[in-house]
Amino acid sequence: MKTVIALIGLLTASTSALGCPETLNFSKRTLGGEEEVNLCERYSGRVVLVVNTASRCAYTPQYDGLEALYREYKDRGLVVLGFPSNDFGAQEPGTEKQIQNFCRLTYGVEFPMFEKSRVRAGNAEPLYETLTRLSGESPRWNFHKYLIDREGQLVGSFSSAVKPQSGELVQAIEALL
């Protein structure tokens, strides 16, 4: 009987894990907060753009474009998820509260932002390890973008040089919405 109960427990756990795509099967703390957000529960069924960000980078003005994308397409199912990282050039040295204030006051960021994260290959946290493995590309600098479709499949990886308003990225997002 114990064996049957154990097997049922394993099957239930496997079914739950299968119900969530591996790209979203993570819980992350909100930036500067204490709330843990289960990415699968909150964003499953949406088009997700995952971006590693930094406040003191030549690409930092991309916050404007990311926020514009979010505002334009959020009602159609797009969500932008920001993950500040200090991995490249120490360009995100502040506390989470400082980052949060900078993003809101300087760029009016309303898209969800999460805890400071390690994203560089070889030292990446599990979310970024998964995105790197699935795409074959790890972030080489700040503002690398990963695009996930409504089924949770990774469908695109865009370098830092690809601006949020670029035709390449906008077309990919619109095709998924």
Coil, helix or strand at residue 6: helix
Which residues are designated catalytic?
A: 57
Q: Which candidate, 31, 55, 52, places its Cα nearest to that of 141?
A: 52
CA count, 13 A, side-chain hemisphere, 24 = 28
Contact yes or no for 40/27 (Cβ under 8 A):
no
Buried b (16+ CB within 10 A) or exposed e, 66-86: bbebbeebeeeebbbbbbbbb
* Residue that is written with structure tokens 């095709």 in the block: 175
